[in-house]
Amino acid sequence: MDKIYLNELEFYGYHGVLPEETKLGQRFRVNVVAETDFREAGLNDDLELTVSYADIYSLCKEIVEGKPYKLIEAVAEHIASAILEKFMKIESVTVKVIKPDPPIPGHYHSVAVEITRKRAS
């Protein structure tokens, strides 16, 4: 299966369980790997035979910058579900949601969750 990668999409959202997260907001990064067969698109140089990266980006932006969720697990689930629902050519999708600056004490680069969801047969 071929793969489309969208790496380190950056958005500002209001997800979290702590009051300051939902009031002040914070940065979120999203990585998406979508599995699809784009051989025909490549052979014919035709966007209609694949999935637009811009459309996936817009969908991720809408979810991350939209309704607040307590958990980044919920953000990832909503992104994966929406991608599979909107883009019928995608067979499976892996979504990673990264919180670069969570309000927890300590030294770290970021925290993240990653899920993979497949189209139901």
Number of domains the chain is built from: 1
Output 108 or 113, whichever has higher pLDDT. Answer: 113
- C-alpha span between 93 and 63 (Å, rounded): 16
Q: What DSSP string runs through 5-60?
A: EEEEEEEEE---SSHHHHHH-EEEEEEEEEEE--HHHHHHT-GGGS--HHHHHHHH
Q: Tell me the pLDDT tens digit for each residue of 35-55.
A: 999 999 999 999 999 999 999
Amino acid 115: pLDDT:
98
Considering the entire predicted model, what is its pTM?
Answer: 0.95
Residue 83 has pLDDT above 80, yes or no: yes
**Measured CA distances, 25 to 51, 64, 84, 86, 94 (Å):** 31, 11, 27, 27, 25
- With cut-offs at 50, 70 and 90, classify the pLDDT of residue 119: very high
What pLDDT is recorded for position 102?
87
- Which pLDDT score, from 0 to 100, does residue 104 have? 84
Q: Is the dihedral of CA 98, 67, 11, 16 positive or negative?
A: negative
Active site residues: 99
Average pLDDT over residues 14-38: 95
**What is the span of the domain harbouring residue 17?**
2-118
Domain containing 60 — which CATH number? 3.30.1130.10
Average pLDDT, the chain: 96
**Separation of alpha carbons 65 and 12, rounded Å:** 6
